[in-house]
A = this chain, B = another copy of it.
């Protein structure tokens, strides 16, 4: 059960995306319990291409200046556009751990490479958890046989659970599309992340695999585009983490002609399907955000350009006053307008209008009067999924951000995460 109930959230769902169990031909996954920080649950996940040579790989990572050791490792290794496996752990982030942290991230990769019989350079490593503690690799070494032994085609749910930290539910999404006549491919992914979520990625780990054959440079392109339109459109608390990683692997066993031309119809279809999976995972993360009770969609329309719209959307989405009003089901449009006004973007107040769902509450710079407006606004705010649109009346660009409310539970969860 995610924090915002899935059945209460309909508008933001794409019909093509499935959140249930899936398999991606050409990949096996597994999970095991190292006990490095948690007990009684798996904390290691392994995702592995069955191709001995590995497969096409691309990634997008945090822009935080204190990026974690495994992030540096992945960035380096992905330059080649290929990988064989991803080893991920939950509990210890291996961030702010200096040179020793880099050595340990490399050791993790070596342990997996020995067990899998592949070069260490083809293993990617991802970590999530507490910042600033050294990761003990001995428990990883001890349970590596279990982990490799657990690899199977339907291991995705176990892997999704193994990477959770403050998440309450695992996040999975998959689509199947017909890439060529009679030839279907799967794109399936898992994600974790619950707090420290903001543009530039966050405490996110996202792993997506496909059996489609895609050239590394095309994969890289769609991974970047997809991240920009999904994980870079969400915020829980404005904090971006040291470890955010999105990795996409394309195994190629589907037998399609390798997608090597970004502009081709197959490429566009693939990009759009990958985008749908990423966006669905991003929304699942907001729905399960720390303390979230509502999912909020914030659309800025009528903007002079996308960047201005984005800046205003995030000023609203990150405002503690706005988010607290959402938690209280208080249709306090004044806070929304005030947050827009401080976003640092030129605005003509007399051209700005605000809508809750399709209800106009603020038109051309002044409130729409009437008791029934207030009542309808209250009804909209009592729902679990709230859409608002601020029209700037200043152009044709738009941007949509997703966020959640700020509740007592957010504070309860974060007061003592380390203990």
Chain A interface residues (CB < 8 Å from chain B): 63-67, 93, 95-98, 100, 130-133, 195-196, 198, 200, 237-242, 318-321, 324-325, 327-328, 330, 332-335, 337-342, 345-347, 349-350, 352, 362, 365-367, 406-408, 410-412, 414-419
Residues of B within 8 A of A320 (CB): 237-239, 320, 406, 410, 414
Residues of B within 8 A of A349 (CB): 65-66, 96
Contact in complex: B97, A366 (CB < 8 Å): yes
Contact in complex: A96, B410 (CB < 8 Å): no
Contact in complex: B324, A414 (CB < 8 Å): yes
Contact in complex: B132, A321 (CB < 8 Å): no
Contact in complex: A414, B325 (CB < 8 Å): yes
Tell me the smallest distance from the CB of A327 to a CB of chain B, in Å.
6
Q: Which interface residue of A239, A406, A407 has the most chain B CB atoms within 10 A?
A: A239
Residues of B within 8 A of A330 (CB): 415-419
Contact in complex: B334, A65 (CB < 8 Å): no
Partner pick for A342 among B97, B200, B415, B419, CB 8 A cutoff: B200
Contact in complex: B321, A237 (CB < 8 Å): yes
Copies of this protein in the complex = 2
Tell me the smallest distance from the CB of A1 to a CB of chain B, in Å.
23
Residues of B within 8 A of A67 (CB): 341
Give me 18 A-to-B residue pairs in the complex whose CB atoms sit less than 8 angstroms apart, sorted by A's number: A63-B342, A65-B346, A65-B347, A66-B341, A93-B334, A98-B350, A98-B366, A130-B334, A131-B337, A132-B362, A238-B318, A239-B319, A240-B342, A320-B406, A325-B417, A328-B414, A330-B416, A408-B412
Residues of B within 8 A of A362 (CB): 96, 132
Residues of B within 8 A of A410 (CB): 320, 324
Q: Which residue of B lies closest to A343 (CB)?
A: B65
Known A-B contacts A332-B418, A362-B96, A411-B327; the reply to A239 vs B65 at CB < 8 A is no
Q: A93-B334, A327-B415 are in contact. List 12 more A-B contacts (CB 8 A).
A: A65-B345, A66-B340, A66-B341, A66-B365, A96-B365, A131-B334, A132-B337, A238-B238, A240-B338, A324-B415, A325-B417, A408-B411
Tell me the smallest distance from the CB of A214 to a CB of chain B, in Å.
31
Inter-chain CA distance A411–B63, complex, in Å, is 30
Partner pick for A334 among B95, B238, B318, B339, CB 8 A cutoff: B95
Residues of B within 8 A of A325 (CB): 414-415, 417
Contact in complex: B64, A338 (CB < 8 Å): yes
Residues of B within 8 A of A332 (CB): 417-418
Tell me the smallest distance from the CB of A62 to a CB of chain B, in Å.
8
Partner pick for A337 among B96, B195, B414, B418, CB 8 A cutoff: B96
Known A-B contacts A334-B132, A366-B96; the reply to A64 vs B341 at CB < 8 A is yes
Known A-B contacts A330-B416, A415-B330; the reply to A339 vs B239 at CB < 8 A is yes
Q: Which interface residue of A100, A200, A321, A330 has the most chain B CB atoms within 10 A?
A: A321
